[in-house]
Amino acid sequence: MSVIAVGAIDTIDIRCTKFKNISPDEHRILGVLASWQYTGVGDEADILFEKILTPAGVRHSREPACDLAQSFKFAGVLIRPRREVTTRPDSYASMSESIHYPPQKKSY
C-alpha cells in the first residue's frame, strides 16, 4: 500500500470495509492482483496501474503486487478478472452494477 500511496497520480479511493460498494480504484487494484494470478505476467497489471500511479510507481509496484497475488493464490484466494473501470468518483451509485466481469446475465 505504501507504493500506491507514494506513487499515486491523484487521490486513491479506498473505502471502509462496511461500505456497500467498492470504488473504481479498488476495482483496479483487485484487477492487478487478478492479472498476476491468472497470467503470471504484469502487462495487464501495468495498464491498470498506469491509470492511478506514476511511471515510477508502476515499476515499483510490480514485485509487491505479484508477491501478494501469488500469496493469495497459494492460500486458495482467487480474485476474479475485471474489466477496466472507465469512470471516476462521479457515479459511485451505479458502479456495483456496471463493473462486473463477466457481464451478469439478465433475468427475463
User: Tell me: the pLDDT tens digits for 7-29?
Assistant: 888 888 888 888 888 888 888 88
8 three-state secondary structure: strand
CA angle 31/79/3 to nearest 5° reads 50
Q: How many CB atoms lie within 10 A of CB 37?
A: 20
pLDDT single digits (tens) 24-59: 888 888 989 999 998 888 788 888 888 889 999 999
Cell of 104: 451478469
Where do the structural domains in the chain lie, given as residue ranges?
A: 2-10+21-85
pLDDT single digits (tens) 69-98: 999 999 999 998 876 655 544 444 344 443
* pTM to 2 decimal places: 0.71
CB 12 within 8 A of CB 4: yes
